[in-house]
Amino acid sequence: MVNKRYKEMLEHKSVIRELSEYATARGQEIGYENVFDYSLGNPSVPVPQDYTDAVIRLHQETEPVQLHGYSPSLGDTEVRGIVASSLEKRFGIPYETRHIFMASGAAGALSHALRIVTEPGDEIILFAPFFPEYIPYTKGAGLIPKIVEADFFSFQINFDAFKALLTEKVSAVLINSPNNPSGIVYSEETLKKLVSILEKAEKKYGHEIFLISDEPYREIVFDGAKTPYPSKYYKNTLSCYSFSKSLSLPGERIGYVAVNPEAKDADLLAVMCGQVSREIGHNCPAKTSQLGVAAVIDETADLSIYETNMNLIYDCLLGLGFEVVRPGGTFYIMPKALEADSIAFCKKALKYDLIFVPADNFGAPGYFRMAYCIDTEKVVRSLNRIREFVKAEYPNR
């Protein structure tokens, strides 16, 4: 029998995808260079040449049966070791091979992490604004997402709202810093306060509350800053990573879960991920992608363009009187729309071939998201269009 729920889900199409399809169609009409598509988070800078060279060399030099053979269910053992060493070197946490589980991008990493530290029916806390796919990810793991309202002033954490939701039923807390959609990076102060609340709650309720940290934007930070690494502050942390953004490899679906070596059952959690895989039919990322990223583990694509773009856009928006928090990283910015109805706002922008995404689904009604992973030249051209749009549609500001 055809499943009812998945069939019904088809009726709720993703706003981002619809806008992106509109942009593609409009591009075919007037030339893609004339559509200012800020809808999609698809990296716009190439993977480092070292990656390409490594993958070519693997195909030229490795015996194919070995190269394309099954990897163990937790990922290629050597690759896991390379990930562990790299993390240890960077963050001073003594990760070993057994703490790493190779996953199909951040989505794959989260789907495993969510399941190993919760029971179906438990509550999990999300912080607005958040990536909308967290809803199917958490519900798919049998969890009940509880959403902490945003701190609209800073997009750090609204701690009062958080404390109110942190009941005994909560077994995990999901954070995402640097954040999609706001571009905000949680400060060390925010993390310390978060951790202190979690530690108290663990004691009070007598069970662990795991911190699941979704970190695909870890490497994209501005002003020479570094993202504080959540696992440094809280031992019951699972760090979920993807190479999609740092290496510009979203199509290759490669990432990992790193279990803090001092977490409860730390030596079992990665192995348990392998058991989750058996139930959700996920058996490792592609072997060649695993070997490819291992060859360039400490490299990134040239991510500087995102900071250049951010500064151009931020200054322009500020000049036009937008209310906007300056991003500390990622390639997103989330200004407040110029009218209460952000969907109406984004629809008006379409007339100027500006593709913005209403942030209502991200837990930030009245705001919109711009993904500025596009060529700087195009960003520059878009600024005049943004000015034109604002002056024509909102003349009395």
Considering only residues 111-140, where is the footprint of a copy of itself by CB under 8 A?
A: 111-112, 115-119, 122, 133, 136-137, 139-140
For the bound state, the minimum distance from the C-beta of residue 268 to a copy of itself, rounded and expressed in Å, comes to 6
* 107 near a copy of itself (CB under 8 A): yes
Binding to a copy of itself (CB under 8 A) within 345-374 occurs at: none
First to last CA, the chain: 56
Three-state DSSP class for 176?
coil
**Rounded (10°) angle between helices 49-61 and 287-295:** 130
Task: State which of residues 176, 231, 246, 289 lies at the interface with a copy of itself (CB under 8 A).
Answer: 289
Main-chain dihedrals φ then ψ at residue 316, nearest 5 degrees: -60, -45
Distance (Å, whole) CA 208 – CA 236: 7
Distance (Å, whole) CA 197 – CA 177: 18
Q: How far from chain centre, in Å, is Cα 97?
A: 24
For the bound state, the minimum distance from the C-beta of residue 281 to a copy of itself, rounded and expressed in Å, comes to 3
Binding to a copy of itself (CB under 8 A) within 150-189 occurs at: 171
In the complex with a copy of itself, the residue whose CB is nearer, 252 or 360, is 252
For the bound state, the minimum distance from the C-beta of residue 316 to a copy of itself, rounded and expressed in Å, comes to 25
Single out the segment in contact with a copy of itself by CB under 8 A; choices: 58-66, 177-185, 223-231, 376-384: 58-66
Single out the segment in contact with a copy of itself by CB under 8 A; choices: 61-69, 216-224, 353-361, 389-397: 61-69
Q: Give the interface size with a copy of itself as a residue count (CB under 8 A).
A: 79
Q: How far from chain centre, in Å, is Cα 118?
A: 21
* 283 near a copy of itself (CB under 8 A): yes
Residue 168 contacts residue 123 (beta carbons within 8 Å): no
Q: Calculate Rg over the CA atoms of the chain.
A: 21
Q: How many CB atoms lie within 10 A of CB 92?
A: 9
**Cα dihedral across residues 375, 380, 382, 383: positive or negative:** positive
In the complex with a copy of itself, the residue whose CB is nearer, 65 or 377, is 65
Q: Copy the structure tokens of residue 164.
A: 């109110």
In the complex with a copy of itself, the residue whose CB is nearer, 167 or 384, is 167
Q: How many CB atoms lie within 10 A of CB 186?
A: 24
Single out the segment in contact with a copy of itself by CB under 8 A; choices: 30-38, 219-227, 286-294, 325-333: 286-294
Residues 6+ positions from 200 with CB-CB distance below 8 Å: none
In the complex with a copy of itself, the residue whose CB is nearer, 6 or 153, is 6
Binding to a copy of itself (CB under 8 A) within 185-224 occurs at: 207-210
Binding mask 298-337 for a copy of itself (x = CB under 8 A): ----------------------------------------
Task: State which of residues 15, 23, 35, 47 lies at the interface with a copy of itself (CB under 8 A).
Answer: 47
Binding to a copy of itself (CB under 8 A) within 250-279 occurs at: 250-254, 264-265, 268-269, 271-272, 275-276, 278-279
User: Based on the number of CB atoms within 10 Å of its own CB, is 97 exposed (0-12), middle (13-18) or buried (19 or more)?
Assistant: middle
For the bound state, the minimum distance from the C-beta of residue 147 to a copy of itself, rounded and expressed in Å, comes to 18
For the bound state, the minimum distance from the C-beta of residue 194 to a copy of itself, rounded and expressed in Å, comes to 18
Distance (Å, whole) CA 84 – CA 44: 28
For the bound state, the minimum distance from the C-beta of residue 27 to a copy of itself, rounded and expressed in Å, comes to 15
User: Based on the number of CB atoms within 10 Å of its own CB, is 28 exposed (0-12), middle (13-18) or buried (19 or more)?
Assistant: exposed
